[in-house]
Structure 1
């Protein structure tokens, strides 16, 4: 689920020495869902490959993770991306849309993934249907113990090798802790994984978090950027990118 540069950083930031990959881990632990169950979900694609997820905020704005804008050490440009909307399959159906402009948080830190959030403006507005809908931003963080849904096309297993689904996956995860600008959710066996980055964490049909980082073997909680804590930045960035 996470992009290549993220793999190396995860080994530094979240590797726990006692952990080993588990063959039964599948998200991880999710199941096929139809796009109508998460019509705000999009696939960010570079060179014909799914690299990250994202969420539809409005008919021309996508919210994703800042680290999704980098390929190894190279900063990707708007022209490098295509966004697939309206399909449960990352590689077919729905609509592919070009990106006109991107902006990541100016204080994004690629070492510890603070401020790991970004917005994209599409080259043309989306037509909303039952498969393509926007999701509102949460105004407050969910309480620990709340059940949230995370979705994406990230790895369903990483042992003995990484396995990536074509069909959209979804899983319900418990909110564990809420810190300043960050939400921890999920567990060993039910969590996000590589290439889920940038995707939505949803409670009561509101976007509460953006998939950011996690354990090297995807065998523990995922860290999400808090949407409510970054709400002011998001709204300002969206206004600026529309100019």
Structure 2
């Protein structure tokens, strides 16, 4: 469903070369929390802070709001692009954002939500499939307007299999209610607190997704903010 930015005023679009690649969440006026994999190419090359900008305060990924340069990035020291563990990052932007009804900070949750807890996530990830009648291919459609999805914290996947979920990961979503490519780095929110960061999910975005647990990495996040 379409979201207005006032419904998720902590949401930002992380962009490189004029294109949206990931979401992020405003923790303070000059700190954004996102996923580590957003800063790596598919072949494992890490990009520099100067390669990125952030758009804040707009539900449109390509217009409106405020564009701010990224000046520092710290990905988790244990992150590897090959397995997406420790998929958390902090970045500092070049100037303090002005807080309005469209730009707000979000606090860090202190504990993982219980199974069955309602949550929601937002972003500009692929939202639908489009069938190409010419060659029979199926393509994902990338929205311009911010999307939002209501999720449930999982104890099982959509096939009913019980999940053994590590404490550094939160599983949420279902077959038709989930995140997709382009949502990476964006927020998983419970009770107006940031509990997770969009990390990964099934190839066709047709099941539960994995979110990096903010409570698990809370101390790392706070220490990193002090150091960058």
Q: Same fold (TM over 0.5)?
A: yes
- Scaled by the length of structure 2, what TM-score is found? 0.91
Match of 1:105 among 36, 60, 76: 76
State the 1:201 CA deviation: 0.1
Match of 1:171 among 149, 156, 165: 149
Tell me the number of residue pairs that the alignment of Structure 1 and Structure 2 aligns: 211
Task: Say yes or no: does 1:216 pair with 2:203.
Answer: yes
Deviations 1:159-204 (A, max 9, x none): 5201000000001000004531000000011100001000000000
Map 1:1-243 → 2, pairs under 5 A: 31-73=1-43, 74-159=45-130, 160-177=138-155, 179-241=166-228
Task: Give SS of 1:82's match.
Answer: strand
In structure 2, distance between residues paired with 1:109 and 1:116: 8
Task: Give SS of 1:162's match.
Answer: strand
- Scaled by the length of structure 1, what TM-score is found? 0.85
In structure 2, distance between residues paired with 1:186 and 1:36: 23
In structure 1, distance between residues paired with 2:37 and 2:166: 20
Q: CA RMSD, aligned part only?
A: 0.9
In structure 2, distance between residues paired with 1:71 and 1:111: 11
Stretches of 4+ moved more than 6 A in 1? Answer: none
- The gaps in structure 2 that reach 5 residues or longer are 131-137, 156-164
Higher RCO (CA 8 Å, separation ≥ 6 residues): 1
Deviations 1:196-224 (A, max 9, x none): 00000000000000000000010110000
CA contact (8 A) 2:10 2:103 kept: yes
